[in-house]
Structure formats: structure tokens, C-alpha cells
Amino acid sequence: MRDEQQEELARRAAAGDRNALEMLLAAIQPSVLRRCSRFLPCYQDAEEACQDVLMQVARNIGGFEGRSKFSTWLHVIIANGSRQTYRTLKRRASEQGYGEMPIDVADARTTSVIAGSRLDLLDALERLESTRAELVAPMVLRDICQLDYKEIATHLGIPEGTVKSRIHQARGQVREYLLAGL
């Protein structure tokens, strides 16, 4: 589906068109799953996050005002949903007595480094959010969701220079956390 068609479906769905919402959810599902997989190391976890994101889109589409592109709005929901899924999984692992989240990794020679890196990044973002929450969204939208500075500035309602500054600060903090081993 072309971006213009997706934007039109989103506008119609936001206006209350249930048929457009169903078509939109079906169209974005593969992309949402792929993007959730950028955050979470296990496919099953990404699937769980994907379902949560689709539910959030369905519940909150009425709040989509069209000030930014639908894809930008969706990226924010994906980032927040994936990070929330990670926090939930981490809490469950802790409640079940695991020192760390159990991860089923198919081939430890190739995927454990990637999975571990993602988990380290999620932990670093969680730590950053507890001290400088305003830095998290710009960094996630740029480095993980790969949005351009202008889109981020429009979505967050802040100047582009502020976006760049916050990303720079966030990267420095995250780098420190990662080097220190959290």
C-alpha cells in the first residue's frame, strides 16, 4: 500500500470510519511487526508488542489529528509499545526469579550479541527515561525508527535544533550507560 493510501485510510479511520480502520490495521500489521522486531530480540515478544500496538492504534486513532504524518504517529506508538512490552517481560522475569530475562536464541554464535545489544539498549533507554525523559523520544525516533529531524520536530512540537541537541545528549548518556555496563 502506498503512503498516500495509508494516510487517507488513517484520516478516514480517525473520522470514525470502522471499515477504513480495519483496512488500515491489516495494511500496517506486517510493518508494525518488522519494526517491533527492531526493538525486541525474540520474535514471539515482537509479535506480542505488535498486537499491543495494533490495539493502541485501534483505540487511539480518533486522537490522530493529521498534524504529522500517520507513519510518524505510528512510529511513536511502536516505540512506546515495544518498550512497554520489554518492561512487562522484564518485570515478569523478575517475578519468576530470573536474574535476567530468559531469551530463547536459536544460534548463540549469531543472535546472542544482537539480542544482548537490544536488551542493553532498552535498559539504557529505561535508565535515561528515569533521569531525562525528554531525551528518549527524539533518540528513539531518530536512531531506531529512522525518522528525519524535521518529522521528529513536527511530531514533538519542538524546534529542529532542539531535536538535534536532545539526540546528541541522549546518545552521550546512553553511551555512558552502555560502557559502564549499566
- DSSP readout, 19-46? HHHHHHHHHHHHHHHHHHHHH-SSHHHH
Residue 112 has pLDDT above 50, yes or no: no
Kindly report the CA angle at 149 between 143 and 151, in degrees rounded to 5?
A: 105
Average pLDDT over residues 40-66: 91
Residue 131's Cβ-count burial label (10 Å; 0-12, 13-18, 19+) is exposed
pLDDT of residue 182: 53
Per DSSP, helices labelled H in 40-159 are: 43-60, 70-95, 111-132, 136-139, 149-156
Return the percentage of the chain with pLDDT > 90, whole number.
Answer: 43
Average pLDDT over residues 35-44: 85
Structural contact between residues 175 and 160, judged by C-beta atoms closer than 8 angstroms: no
* Sequence letter at residue 56: Q
**pLDDT tens sequence across 117-143:** 667 888 888 898 899 999 998 998 888
**pLDDT tens sequence across 4-39:** 899 999 999 999 999 999 999 999 999 999 989 888
**In CATH, what number does 3-180 get?**
1.10.1740.10
Domain residue spans of the chain: 3-180
